[in-house]
Structure formats: C-alpha cells, structure tokens
Structure 1
Amino acid sequence: MRVLMGIFTDRGSKYAVSGGPCQSADEAKAFVKTLCRRKKFAKATHNTWAVILPDGTPIKNDDGEAGAGLVILRMLEREERVGEIIVVTRWFGGVHLGGDRFRRVQDAVRVYWDAP
C-alpha cells in the first residue's frame, strides 16, 4: 500500500491518494478497510476508489462523491491499468467545488502515477 498525503489543497479541501495491487473485490474492500483504520482516513469526507480486476471486472465506489469513482475507473481503463486499486481521499474544506472536484480527482490519480 502506497499513501501520498497532502498532495494538494483546493478552496480548503485537502486531498490524499493511495493505491496498490488488487486482485479481487474482497481485496478491494480490505484495502479500503485497512486504509480507514488510520484515524485520519476514517474521518475523511470521501474515500472514492476504483479498480479493474484481472478478469476485466470494473469495480468503483463514490463514497458520497457522486461520479468520482467513475472518473478514476475511466482513467484506469484509458491507461489499461489492471489489478491496481486507486483511492482518492478528500477532507471537505467548507466550499463546494462543483465540477472542479472531478478535475481534482484526476489530478490526484496523476500524482499517484507520477510519484517515484
């Protein structure tokens, strides 16, 4: 599991991104559960995630950030990344971001992929 904290802030909302190998729906749920054992992540407003399983099955979860899981899933599909879960975490800062929230999700995924 790789976790990148405090990757950026937008109008008070703070972001982190996490990821790692994932071979099944059970592993995906376990990954998010393990992440949320960290108090900071358990208190996050949203932990949105997606994965494409090795058999080609797409799984996503918006965790209240409507459409965000699909944004991650589409990025995974475009890059043909299979068996890798990506979780974008947001702590709401008091200002609604509107459509910009999808750009921030994309930015977070790119930060994860570009990190050494």
Structure 2
Amino acid sequence: MLTLDGIIADRGSKYAVSGAPCRSSKEAKALLAKLKRTKKFAKATHNTWGLICDEGPIKNDDGESGAGMIILRMLEREGLRDHLVVVTRWYGGKHLGGDRFRHVQHAVGAYFEAVREG
C-alpha cells in the first residue's frame, strides 16, 4: 500500500492519502484493516475511501460526509478501476468548512500523481 503522509496541514488538521490495487469490498476492508494496524492511522478521526470495481462504485465517508463521493468522482475521471484510495484526516480542533473537500481533492490528486510517477 502506497501512503503519502503529512501532505496537507490546515488549522491543526492533518491529511494523508493511501491506496493499493483492490478488486472488491472485501479486499478493501482487508486493506483498510492493514492500514489501521499502524497506530497513527487507527487513531485518525476519518479514514474516508472509495473504490470502483466489478461490484460497482463503493465508498465510505467514515464520518466525513461527502468525502467518499469526491474520491469516487475523481477515480471515475481518472479512469482508475480496481484501486482503493483512502484519505485520512486527523482533526485539529477547528472546523474547515468547504476547505475540507478541497483538501480531499488535493490529497487524491497527489496520490494519482505519485502512482503515475511509479
């Protein structure tokens, strides 16, 4: 699993993005469990994810309402199927409003760039 940690910091909140090839919701849950074996990610406020596979589009907002749909839309635009993308947020104590969606977009974009660069 590729993880880009500490890519965004805003008003105390911190973001990371992770991902890996994945073909099902069952596999996505296993990959998420593997990510959460790292104590830092287990203690995160949100681990939002999206996946487009043969089962269809699957997402989990993990309390960050709307963030999973942003990930799905970006996966669609990128044409990336069978690949799980997880955006992790550690809440810093101040609400970010709409900026949180821009941060999710930035994190996913950074992940796509890293995957392209190999």
Q: Secondary structure at the match of 1:112?
A: helix
Aligned partner letter, 2:92: G
Q: 2:32 aligned with 1:32, yes or no?
A: yes
Task: Please give the alpha-carbon distance, in whole angstroms, between the structure 2 residues aligned to 1:21 and 1:110.
Answer: 17
Displacement of 1:96: 0.3
Q: 2:68 aligned with 1:69, yes or no?
A: yes
Q: TM-score, length-normalised on structure 2?
A: 0.94
Task: Please give the alpha-carbon distance, in whole angstroms, between the structure 2 residues aligned to 1:56 and 1:71.
Answer: 19
Q: 2:95 aligned with 1:96, yes or no?
A: yes
Q: Secondary structure at the match of 1:74?
A: helix
Question: Per-residue displacement from partner, 1:56-113 (whole Å, max 9, x unpaired)?
Answer: 6100000000000000001101111100100000000111001111000000001111
Runs of 4 or more consecutive aligned structure 1 residues displaced over 6 Å after TM superposition:
none
Determine if contact 2:49/2:60 at 8 Å carries over to the other structure.
Answer: yes
Determine if contact 1:17/1:108 at 8 Å carries over to the other structure.
Answer: yes
Q: Secondary structure at the match of 1:65?
A: coil
Displacement of 1:24: 0.9
* Gaps in structure 1 of 5+ consecutive residues: none
Displacement of 1:11: 1.1
Q: TM-score, length-normalised on structure 1?
A: 0.96
Task: Please give the alpha-carbon distance, in whole angstroms, between the structure 2 residues aligned to 1:111 and 1:10.
Answer: 16
For the aligned residue pairs, the C-alpha RMSD in angstroms reads 0.9
Q: Secondary structure at the match of 2:84?
A: strand
Aligned residue-pair number: 115
1:12-91 alignment runs, 5 A limit: 12-53=12-53, 55=54, 57-91=56-90
Q: Percent identity?
A: 66
* Gaps in structure 2 of 5+ consecutive residues: none
Q: Where does residue 3 of structure 1 map in the other structure? A: 3
